[in-house]
Amino acid sequence: MKILDKIWKRGQDFLSVDYPIISGGMTWVSTYELIKSVSDNGAFPVFAGGNMPSDLFEHEIDRCVEKLKKPFAVNLITIAPNYREHYKILLSKHVPFVIFAGSFPKKSDVKIIKDTGKKVMSFASEKSIAKKQIDFGVDALILEGSEAGGHIGHVSLTVLLQDVLFDMRDFPVFVAGGIATGKMMAHLLLMGACGCQLGTRFVMSEECTAHPKFKEAFMKARARQAIATPQYDSKLPVVAVRAIKNKSMKDFGRLQLELLNKLERGEITREKAQYEVENFWVGGLRNAVIDGDVDSGSLMAGQSVGLIKNIKSVKEIIKEFIDDAEEELTRIKNMLP
Q: Is residue 44 part of a domain?
A: yes
Asked whether residue 33 falls in the same domain as residue 128, the answer is yes
Secondary structure of residue 119 in the 3-state scheme? strand
Q: How many domains does the chain have?
A: 2
The β-bridge partners of 144 are 176
Residue 58 lies in a domain: yes
Answer whether residue 294 is part of any domain: no
- How far, in Å, CA of 20 to CA of 296, rounded? 35
Same domain for 253 and 325?
Answer: no
55 and 142 belong to one structural domain: yes
Domain co-membership, 282 together with 319: no
337 occurs within a structural domain: no
Domain identity same for 226 and 90: no
Taking the C-alpha atoms of residue 91 and residue 87, their distance in angstroms, rounded to an integer, is 7
CA distances from 332 to 190, 328, 329 (A): 10, 6, 5
For residue 131, give the 3-state DSSP assignment.
helix
190 & 221 share domain: no
Residues 271 and 145 in one domain: no
Q: Is residue 300 part of a domain?
A: no
7 part of a folded domain = yes
User: Is position 165 within any domain?
Assistant: yes
Tell me the C-alpha distance between 227 and 254, whole Å: 17
Residue 274 is predicted with a pLDDT of 81
Q: Are residues 161 and 195 in the same domain?
A: yes
Average pLDDT for the chain: 94
Domain enclosing residue 67, as ranges: 3-205+309-331
Q: What angle is formed at CA 54 by the lines to CA 53 and CA 58, rounded to 5 degrees?
A: 120
Note the pLDDT of residue 279. 80
Distance in angstroms (rounded) separating the CA atoms of residues 4 and 278: 40
C-alpha 130/C-alpha 325 separation (Å) is 27
What per-residue confidence (pLDDT) applies to 103? 81
Q: Tell whether 230 is covered by a domain.
A: yes
Using an 8 Å Cβ cutoff, are 332 and 189 in contact? no
Same-domain pairing of 71 and 90:
yes
Q: Say yes or no: 185 and 48 in one domain.
A: yes
Q: What is the spatial order of strands in the sheet that 150-151 belongs to?
A: 150-151, 241-244, 226-228
Same domain, 142 and 270: no
The CATH number covering residue 51 comes to: 3.20.20.70
What percent of the chain stands above pLDDT 90?
Answer: 79
Q: Residue 308: its pLDDT value, please?
A: 95
**Positions in the chain short of pLDDT 70:** 1
Contact 267, 187 (CB under 8 A): no
Residues 86 and 193 in one domain: yes
Cα 9 to Cα 95: distance, rounded to the nearest angstrom: 23
